[in-house]
Amino acid sequence: MIHAVKHHPALELLEQYIEASLAPELSLAIAAHLDLCPHCQRIKMDLEAEAGTALASLPEAQTAETDWQQMLDFITAQPEIAAKMEKRQPFALQIQNSEILLPASLKPLLQNKLKWFNLGGISTAKLAGEDQHNVSLLYIRKDSEVPQHTHLGLEITLVLKGKIYDESGCYGEGDLLINTPDHTHTPRTMSEDCLCLSVLTAPLKFKKGLTRLLNPLQHLFY
């Protein structure tokens, strides 16, 4: 990947991901980010190794480093594990007339045909989510703007293709934007289309003038 990922989940979030204490939808966003981010993959491995070392250093479970490496080699040689690792390969999907490579973690959610809703330059397709959390793809055409909004809950956006800009910067492929009720922003695209994964734990709330009229339409975004 040419773009170096710059915006990562906080360490705390990665720890919760490893402990499997996150809601499944949030885990999905972190898993998809990990697929795209070698930096966080290394941190994850370190955290897992730390957890492993903590276990191994329990009395009577002292394991020499070489044994540890042998054990790892043995585990990764197992067909089942090897198959799981192969699944990390990205896969191509036809989205809005272009073929886009997507992180392996999203594959289970993209088995069925996507149903897009269009509103101006923005299209959304819901992938999953019932009561509390909502997972969708957001396709924003070039030179388009998502009206200024704040968040009633947590909004996690993972850029899958292209670039998105808001008041706090520019985000490219693999970058993760985390917004809370304290943030108000106006994400927009510039010269290229952008595809994002969006996870919301509560609806968006549009802020300005006429766009407040969008609030009844927020099911498109949530």
Cα separation, 118 vs 62, in Å, equals: 59
Least gap, CB of 202 to Zn ion (angstroms): 25
Residues 136-155, interacting with Zn ion (CB under 5 A): none
Q: Which stretch binds Zn ion (CB under 5 A): 4-12, 64-72, 139-147, 183-191?
A: 4-12
| Min CB(178)–Zn ion separation in Å | 12
| Alpha carbon distance 97, 33 (integer Å) | 24
Name the one range near Zn ion by CB under 5 A: 7-15, 64-72, 144-152, 191-199.
Answer: 7-15
Q: Would you say 37 or 109 has its CB closer to Zn ion?
A: 37
Footprint of Zn ion on residues 29-88 (CB under 5 A)? Answer: 37, 39-40
Minimum distance, C-beta of residue 41 to Zn ion, in the bound complex (Å): 8
The size of the interface with Zn ion (CB under 5 A), counted in residues, is 4
- Following DSSP, what letter does each residue of 60-105 receive, concatenated? T----HHHHHHHHHHHHHSHHHHHHHHTTS-EEEEETTEEEEE-GG
Single-letter amino acid, residue 64: A
Q: Who contacts 55 (Cβ-Cβ below 8 Å, separation ≥6)?
A: 61
Beta strands in the chain (DSSP E): 91-95, 98-102, 116-119, 122-128, 134-140, 149-151, 155-161, 164-166, 169-171, 176-179, 184-185, 194-200, 204-206
Select from 5-13, 111-119, 133-141, 213-221 the region that touches Zn ion (CB under 5 A): 5-13
Nearer to Zn ion, 8 or 149 (CB): 8
Interaction of residue 8 with Zn ion, rule CB under 5 A: yes
Find the radius of gyration of the CA atoms of the chain: 20
For residue 66, the minimal CB distance to Zn ion (Å) is: 31
Binding site for Zn ion (CB under 5 A): 8, 37, 39-40
